[in-house]
A and B are shown apart, each in its own frame.
Chain A
Amino acid sequence: MAKKKDDKGTNPGLNTPLLDELEDGPWPSFVSDLKQWSETKPQVAQLLNQLEESYENRWNYWTGTVLNVSGYGGGVIARLSEKADKYPDLAEFHTIRIIPPPGFVYSTERLRNLADICERHGAGILQLHGLTGDALALGFDNESTFAAAEDLMANGWDLGGSGAALRSLQCCVGQARCEMACFDTMKTSRFLTNHYIDFLHRPEFMYKFKIKISGCANDCANAMIGSDMPIIGTWRGPMQVDQEKVAEYIDEKGVEHVIDNVITRCPTRCLSLKGKELVVDDENCVRCMHCINVMHKALKPGKDQGVTICLGAKRTLKIGDTMSSVIVPFLKLETDEDFENLTDLIDRMWEFWNDNGMDHERIGEFIARVGLGTFLEGCGIEPDPRMVQSTRTSPYINFEELAPGDFEGEREQQPTVWNREPESRESSS
C-alpha cells in the first residue's frame, strides 16, 4: 500500500510532518485513522497537533488529576493538558475504563452500543484491551464524564478499576472456544468479578492487584508475566494419548519430524518413541503444553483437570520485573465449594498483604521483602516443594543425601539429613 499522506489529511488545521511518518508501510496506522476522524471531531485534530508537538519537543504535555464518578473510587483516569491555552478542547481529556465481558467476547450489537455512547459524549476513540484488560473510552471533559457514566450504566456497562484497587479481570476464551482449556475461565472471571465488585469500584489496597485467568499453560491471557495472581489451567495424572493418532501423525510427517519437533523439544525430556508408540514419563511432565500444541489430535491434557494459582508478577517499581511463582500447585475449580475455597484463599492473602504491606507495594514485592515462609505462615498455606521461582534450576537440597539407601550402598545406616549434626555431615563426605 502506498503512502496515505496525499489522499488523507484534508483537515486544514493539521500540521503533523513527524506523525505522517507513522503512516508509512503496509500496516494500519492510528495516525490515518485519527486524521480521518478529526473531520468529525475537532478535538481529535488538536490531539494530533499536541502529539506532534510532543514528538518535536520530546516532552509529554499530559498531567493527571483526581476525578471520580459519584459512588466510585476508580474507573476514570483524569487527564489535563498543559497546552490548554493552545488546544482548548484538550483542557480536560479524561479516559473512562469499562469492564469488558469475560474473554472479550462482544456481540456486534453491544459493541455498536458502546461505540455510540463514547461518540455521543466524548472524542469517540475506543482503545480495546491493553494490558489493563479494560475497554478504554477516551476524550471526556468533566461534565461529559458524568453524563457518559450515567449513559453507560443505563445501558448495562460498568466502570472498571483504577488506582490501588482490584483491576478488571482478564481471561482467555477457555472452554467456550478452545479444546486445550482445562477449566471454565469465563465462568471464573465472571464469578470473581461479581464476588469482588466492590474491590473493583473502590480502591483501598496498598497498590493495584491484578488477576488474569488462562485455561492452560499456553497462557493466552498473558497471566504469568502480567498479573499479580495468574490462575492457570493444568491437570494431574497422565495426559491423554491416542496411540492410533500418534501412528497416523508419524506416517504423515515422518519420524524425524516428530523427533525434532516433539521429542527433543520437551523441556524435561519425558517423551520417547517406541516404534510408532509415544511413551510419556508422566511423573516428569511439567505440563508445558508443547507436545499437545504440535500433535493436537493425538495428545490431550489429562482427565483430572484443575488450576495452578501463582503469585507475584509485576513491572519494575520497588524491585525489578518479576514473573509469578506457584503458590497453590493444584486446585479443583468445578463446584460451588471449589469457588468458595478460591475466594477464601484470595481473602486470606489480601488480608495478610493489607495488614503488613507498605505503601505502593505489590504482593510480589511484599513476598520478596518478608520472605515466602512468612507469607505462607501468615496466610495459612502449607509449604510445598513446588513453590520455586523456576523449576529444576535451583535445588535447595543435596540430592545424594536424600536419595534412598540403595542409591549409594552404605548411606542407609546414616541418620536422615535433618537430624544429623553438622560435624558428622562433614566427616561423611
Chain B
Amino acid sequence: MAIEVNGKTIEIDEEGFLVDREDWSEDVSEAIANRDGIELKDEHMGLIDYFRDYYEEHQVHPTMHVLVQRLGGKIGKRFHEHKEYEKFLYMLFPSDPVSELCKLAGLPKPLPSEHDG
C-alpha cells in the first residue's frame, strides 16, 4: 500500500504504519490521520512530538502508564480521578491512543504484551 504526500509516494503497511520510518514528516502524519478519520489539532501534534522525542531518547515508545503518570500527573485528590487524562486521550484517539500515536509519529508498531493471559 502507499499514500501520496506532496507528489511523493510513501509506502505504508496495511494498518497504516510507515514501511520506512525515514519517510516521516508532519504532512505524512496528516495524511495517515486522514486515512484513519482523525483531524489533527494542536493537542494531537503535541502528543506526536512527545512520542518522537521519547522514542529518540529511550528507543521504545511510551506506554499508557507513562502517558497517564507523566503527562496526566496528579488530577484530583484520589488516585482513580487521574483516569480523566486517559479519557481525554481516548477522546483524541478513540481506537487505541498508544498504537495510533505510534502510527502517526512514524514509530514501529507496538508489540503485544507477552503476559496478557
* Chain A bound to chain B: yes
Residues of A whose CB lies within 8 Å of any CB of B are 64-66, 68, 70-71, 73, 77-78, 132, 162-164, 195-196, 198-199, 202-208, 317, 343-344, 347-348, 350-351, 354-355, 360
| Chain A residues positioned under 8 Å from B79 (CB to CB) | 347-348, 350-351, 354
With A164-B65, A199-B80, A354-B69 as given contacts, are A68 and B90 in contact (CB-CB < 8 Å)? no
Residue from A164, A198, A343, A355 within 8 A of B69 (CB atoms) = A355
Complex Cα–Cα for A360 and B113 (A): 10
Measured in the bound complex, the distance between the Cα atoms of B86 and A196 in whole Å is 14
Residue contact A198 to B86, C-beta cutoff 8 Å: yes
Q: Do most interface residues of chain B lie in helix, strand or loop, or is the interface mixed?
A: loop
A66 contacts B69, C-beta separation under 8 Å: no
Candidates B94, B113, B115; contact of A70 at CB < 8 Å: B94
CA–CA, A344 to B79, complex, Å? 9
Q: Bound state CA distance, A261 and B108, in angstroms? A: 63
Residues in B92-115 with C-beta less than 8 Å from chain A: 94-96, 99, 109-115
Given contacts A204-B68, A206-B65, A354-B69, contact A65 B112 (CB under 8 A): yes
Query: Does residue B38 face the partner (Cβ distance < 8 Å to A)?
Result: no
A354 engages B117 (CB within 8 Å): no
Interchain CB contact under 8 A, A73 and B65: no
B116 touches A71 (CB 8 A): no
13 extra interface residue pairs, beta carbon distance < 8 Å, beyond A71-B94, A164-B64: A64-B114, A66-B112, A68-B96, A70-B94, A71-B95, A198-B87, A202-B86, A204-B64, A204-B83, A347-B79, A348-B79, A350-B79, A354-B79
Q: Give the 3 A-B residue pairs with the shortest CB-CB distance, closest first.
A: A347-B79, A351-B79, A64-B112
Name the residue in B69, B86, B110 with the highest tally of chain A Cβ atoms < 10 Å from its Cβ. B86
Q: How far is the CB of A359 from chain B (nearest CB, A)?
A: 8
Give, as a whole number of angstroms, the nearest-CB distance from A397 to chain B.
Answer: 35
B78 at the interface (CB under 8 A from A): yes
In B47-93, the 8 Å CB interface with A consists of 64-65, 68-69, 78-80, 83, 86-87, 90
Which B residues fall within an 8 A CB radius of A?
Answer: 64-65, 68-69, 78-80, 83, 86-87, 90, 94-96, 99, 109-117
Which residues does chain B contribute within 8 Å of A195, judged by CB atoms? 80
When chains A and B are docked, how far (Å) is the Cα of A368 from the Cα of B114? 23
In the docked arrangement, what's the CA distance between A228 and B63, Å? 22
- Residues in chain A near residue B68, CB distance under 8 A: 204
Whether A66 touches B96, Cβ cut-off 8 Å, given contacts A71-B90, A199-B80, is yes
Contact B65 A347 (CB under 8 A): no
**Minimal beta-carbon separation of B88 from chain A (angstroms):** 12
> Is the beta-carbon distance between B65 and A70 smaller than 8 angstroms?
no
Q: Is B115's CB under 8 angstroms from A203's CB?
A: no
Q: CB distance A202 to B90 under 8 Å? A: yes
Bound state CA distance, A65 and B99, in angstroms? 12
Specify which chain B residues have a CB less than 8 angstroms from the CB of A204 in the assembled complex: 64-65, 68, 83, 86
Contact A354 B65 (CB under 8 A): yes
Q: CB distance B80 to A164 under 8 Å? A: no
> Which residues of chain B have C-beta atoms less than 8 A from A164's C-beta?
64-65, 113
- Tell me whether A73 and B117 are in contact (CB under 8 A): no
Q: Which of A162, A202, A360 has the most CB of B within 10 A?
A: A202
The smallest beta-carbon distance between A145 and chain B, in angstroms, is: 13
Given A64-B112, A65-B112, A196-B80: A70 in contact with B95 (beta carbons within 8 A): yes
Q: Tell me how far the C-beta of B3 lies from the nearest C-beta in chain A, rounded to whole angstroms.
A: 21
Distance, CA A37 to CA B9, complexed state (A): 49
Whether the Cβ atoms of A317 and B86 lie closer than 8 Å is no
Verify B116–A162 contact, CB threshold 8 A. Answer: yes
B112/A78 in contact, CB under 8 A? yes
Q: Report yes or no: B112 in contact with A73, Cβ–Cβ below 8 A.
A: no
Nearest Cβ distance between residue B1 and chain A, in whole angstroms? 16
